[in-house]
Structure 1
């Protein structure tokens, strides 16, 4: 046998090895995350339910899903252990101070100047900018659109239509 005939098999075996290694690493990370759970941690189950860990056993986790609602889950059913900020934001709607997290969508924060220049630029920003094309007949552009439509063709009434 030549090396050319064995090359596809070698590549296939190498790809399988890399995929199983990656999957094994993900499983180890998930197991480590589940083993680090402590009472009071916020979690999301693989089914999408959010709860607080009440008690951690060898293979099970007791979750507090609400007042008087305790649920027993297998450890493998825990999809993610959440940070306190993330859990409070999702479950209770409590936002932490987002002022520090806001990134401006323009460069205004980079170009801020003193008040005198800001007042002049604010006055010019109040006037809308017309980006439409101008026709050669500028006089007609000043007339309202309804007047143009009335001049072009009279409106039909009493159920008349253009259909033939």
Structure 2
């Protein structure tokens, strides 16, 4: 009789333990879904932000014409002498020969007025 009661109690405890583990798994899943949604949303927002930044950079590079004052990623201020498809020739100082750099090395356009005047 005592043995029977002990076996029944052990069986009930095992069943309760398996129910608890099933409930724990369910709560784990319900916690994982919002986390995945947040990750997807953050990835989407980050991708759009980078795309807008690339478009802005490309628009700036397309506006560069002869005479535009620029700053390189190295910190040099220069004047554009010639514009190519992927490169530009820049003049760093009056008595120095022009230097060829790739367009992606241009950090910003300092003098947008020159670029606007040449386009008109």
TM-score relative to the length of structure 2 = 0.65
Between stretches 2-11 and 57-66, larger displacement belongs to 2-11
Number of residue pairs the alignment of both structures matches: 85
How many angstroms apart in 2 are the aligned matches of 1:58 and 1:23?
A: 23
Higher relative contact order (CA 8 A, sep 6+): 2
Using the TM superposition, give the Cα deviation of residue 67 of structure 1 relative to its aligned residue in structure 2, in angstroms. 1.7
Shift of 1:50: 0.3
* More helix as a share of residues: 2
In the aligned structure 2, how far is the partner of 1:12 from the partner of 1:19? 11
Secondary structure at the aligned position of 1:66 is classed as coil
User: How does 1:56-95 map onto structure 2 within 5 Å?
Assistant: 56-69=83-96, 70-83=98-111
Q: Which runs of 5+ in 2 are unaligned?
A: 1-25, 114-120
SS, match of residue 28 in structure 1: helix
**Cα RMSD between the aligned structures?**
1.7
1:44-59 pair list within 5 angstroms:
44-59=71-86
Structure 1 unmatched ranges of 5 or more: 86-164
Q: 1:24 aligns with which of 41, 47, 51?
A: 51
What is the alpha-carbon distance in structure 1 between the residues aligned to residue 32 and residue 69 of structure 2? 54
Cα distance in 2 between the residues matched to 1:36 and 1:45: 15
Structure 1 residue runs of 4+, over 3 Å off? Answer: 1-4
Q: Calculate the TM-score normalised by the size of structure 1.
A: 0.48
